[in-house]
Structure 1
Amino acid sequence: MTTRRQQTSHESSELILKAAAELFAAKGYRQTTFADVAERSGISRGSIPWHFGSKEGLLLAVLERSVNLISTSLDAEEVATVEAGFDRLMEGANALLALPTTKLFVTLLVEALEPGSPIHSHYLEIHNTLRDHCRRWLERLPLAPGLSVEALAVTIIGAGIGIHQQWLLAPDQVDPEKAMAALRALLAGAVLPVSE
């Protein structure tokens, strides 16, 4: 049975994680301080290391929480038709762009690529999770001969992240909805029509 103290501790952790994710996405990991997180979350600065140990521990917790959010939001449901499966795949790709964690992933990419980065393996796990969800949807669709499910999953995730990155850099020049519609049109050619 959960005590009131445990509940309060969990609620505080969630407020800290949400604030840290927003700040890491907006300012980057290095530029964000415990004082920033405390101010945004409304939780005392001294509580943050008590919950997460260090700034790196907080970042790793944010990334782990993000992977869980992605997995929950993109979990595959059974679909009755190929068209419904394709539509669901594209809904999942659109949902990925709408997730609050997407900006965080784009912001942390450079840090994840640095030699010896503490977040490299977690960032890799995020991409593996995204590709796995995409692959599971693609395996339900009749693809054109010669197309690899794995390669197509890499392409879809890469396009989705790339669209979002361009939109973050130039929101007045990039329309993510139109870009996703174009991606959908391109991918429609990869799916074979179902014979009656």
Structure 2
Amino acid sequence: MTPPGRRRIDEIGEESRRRILDAAEELFAERGFDRTSFVDIAERSGISRGSIPWHFKNKDGLVLAVIERAINRLIPAGHYRSVPPLAELFDDASALARSGNSALILSMSAEAIRGTGAVRTQYQEFYARRRAGLEDWLRARRPKDVDPDEAAQRERTFAVALNGLLMGIHFQAVVDPANVDLDASLRSIAELIDKNLADLYA
């Protein structure tokens, strides 16, 4: 039964949008952005080809919606408003590498590198959220006797470096999973941080 205040046509529209996004996400991961057409997406989703631009305007709009949904599913906006434990940050990295969106996010990163539009902005925001979470974690453990401006700069630099490590492990785990122990690799980084955190502020 349709809830009060909602029209059946709205529910049908939302269901069509979800099915289009599901199909596009699968096809982009399987074939890549360039080799996926609206016809392919229509066949996979069971939704008419003409409905796709009605929902998303064009292919760029569809790509943006797919990436935004995939990223927000993993790390929603506001996810790091409270200071998370390091284990939670690493759990996010593990979840990303193991998720069905993992190959999609890696393959579509090429579009973010080539382009200057909305897809690139989505990736910038995604990585900014991860770096911000790492900076918050470091700031909460910052010694009280250090210069705050200098400490903040070091924390920003460290967050970039650590995020790069996590991205590298993610890529290897997707490309060569048989030879990459994801959990052991993440634990190794966590142990190094625990042992050497004081050196960051020395």
TM over 0.5: same fold? yes
CA–CA separation in structure 2 for the residues paired with 1:87 and 1:167: 19
Among 75, 79, 93, the residue aligned to 1:71: 75
Match of 1:36 in 2: 40
Q: 1:56 to 1:25 in 2, by over 3 A?
A: same
CA–CA separation in structure 1 for the residues paired with 2:173 and 2:82: 32
Among 14, 17, 24, the residue aligned to 1:10: 14
TM score, norm. by length of structure 1: 0.79
Decide which moves more: 93-102 or 106-115: 93-102
Q: 1:132 to 1:99 in 2, by over 3 A?
A: farther
Among 178, 185, 191, the residue aligned to 1:185: 191
Match of 2:91 in 1: 91
Amino acid at match of 1:85: P
CA–CA separation in structure 2 for the residues paired with 1:180 and 1:165: 13
Match of 2:158 in 1: 152
CA–CA separation in structure 2 for the residues paired with 1:161 and 1:74: 21
SS at match of 2:174: helix
Give 1:185 shift. 1.8
TM score, norm. by length of structure 2: 0.77
Give 1:155 shift. 2.2
Q: 1:85 to 1:171 in 2, by over 3 A?
A: closer
CA–CA separation in structure 2 for the residues paired with 1:116 and 1:95: 28
CA–CA separation in structure 1 for the residues paired with 2:77 and 2:101: 12
Give 1:51 shift. 0.9
Give 1:43 shift. 2.2
- The C-alpha deviation readout for 1:84-131, integer Å capped at 9, x for no partner, is 823233223323323433322211222222255662222222222222
Q: Is the 8 A contact 2:169 2:185 kept in 1?
A: yes
CA–CA separation in structure 2 for the residues paired with 1:86 and 1:118: 30
RMSD over aligned Cα atoms: 2.7
Superposed, 1:123-134 pairs within 5 Å as 123-134=123-134
How many residues are paired up?
187
Q: Is the 8 A contact 2:102 2:174 kept in 1?
A: no
CA–CA separation in structure 1 for the residues paired with 2:138 and 2:93: 12
CA–CA separation in structure 2 for the residues paired with 1:71 and 1:6: 27
Give 1:5 shift. 0.9
Decide which moves more: 159-168 or 111-120: 111-120
Higher-Rg structure is 2
Give 1:180 shift. 1.4
